[in-house]
A and B are shown apart, each in its own frame.
Chain A
Amino acid sequence: MTEPDTVDATLRALLADVLGLGEDRAAALTADSGLFGALPEFDSMAVATVLTEMEDRLGILIDDDEIDGEIFETYGNLLAFSLRKVGE
Chain B
Amino acid sequence: MAEHCFRIHPTGTPRATILIVPPLFEEANRTRRTLVLAMRALTADGFAALLPDLPGQNESLVPLEKVELASWQNALAEAAATIDGPLIIASLRGGALIDHYPKAAARWRLAPIGGASLLRTLMRARIAADREAGRTSSLDSLQAEASTVPLLLAGNRLSPAMIAQLGSAEIQPVAPLRSVTLGSGADVIAGTPLWLRAEPGEDAAMAKAIAADIAAWSKTCGIS
Assign chain A's interface to a size class: 20 to 34
Are the C-beta atoms of A45 and B125 separated by less than 8 Å? yes
B125 touches A53 (CB 8 A): no
1/0 contact trace for A46-76 toward B, CB 8 Å?
1111011100100000001101010000000
Q: Is the CB of A48 within 8 A of B199?
A: no
A residues apposed to B, CB below 8 Å: 17-20, 41-49, 51-53, 56, 64-65, 67, 69
How big is the B interface, by class?
20 to 34
Of the candidates B132, B139, B193, B198, the one whose C-beta lies within 8 Å of that of A64 is: B139
Let me know if A20 and B128 touch, CB within 8 A. Answer: no
In the bound assembly, the distance between CA atoms of A18 and B125 in angstroms comes to: 14
The listed residue with most A CB atoms (<10 A of its CB), out of B127, B128, B197, B201, is B128
Taking CB atoms, residues of chain B closer than 8 Å to A42 are 198
Decide if A51 touches B199 in the complex (CB within 8 Å): no
User: Which 9 A-B pairs give the minimum distances between C-beta atoms?
Assistant: A48-B124, A44-B128, A48-B125, A44-B129, A41-B198, A47-B128, A46-B198, A52-B121, A45-B125
Residues of B within 8 A of A48 (CB): 121-125, 127-128, 154
A72 to chain B, nearest CB (A): 9
The secondary-structure label for the interface of chain B is helix
Which of B26, B126, B129, B197 has the most C-beta atoms of chain A within 10 angstroms of its own C-beta?
B197
Chain B residues in 8 Å Cβ range of A44: 125-126, 128-129, 132, 154
Residues on B with beta carbons closer than 8 Å to the beta carbon of A17: 192-193, 196-197
Q: Which residues of B contact A18 (CB under 8 A)?
A: 196-198
**Shortest beta-carbon distance from B46 to chain A in Å:** 33
Task: State how many angstroms separate the Cβ of A20 from the closest Cβ of chain B.
Answer: 5
Expressed in whole angstroms, the Cα–Cα distance for A51 and B117 within the complex equals: 11
Q: Which residues of A contact B121 (CB under 8 A)?
A: 48-49, 51-52
Interface members, chain B 171-224 (any A CB < 8 Å): 192-193, 196-199, 201
B4 on the A face (CB < 8 A): no
User: Is B58's beta carbon under 8 Å from chain A?
Assistant: no
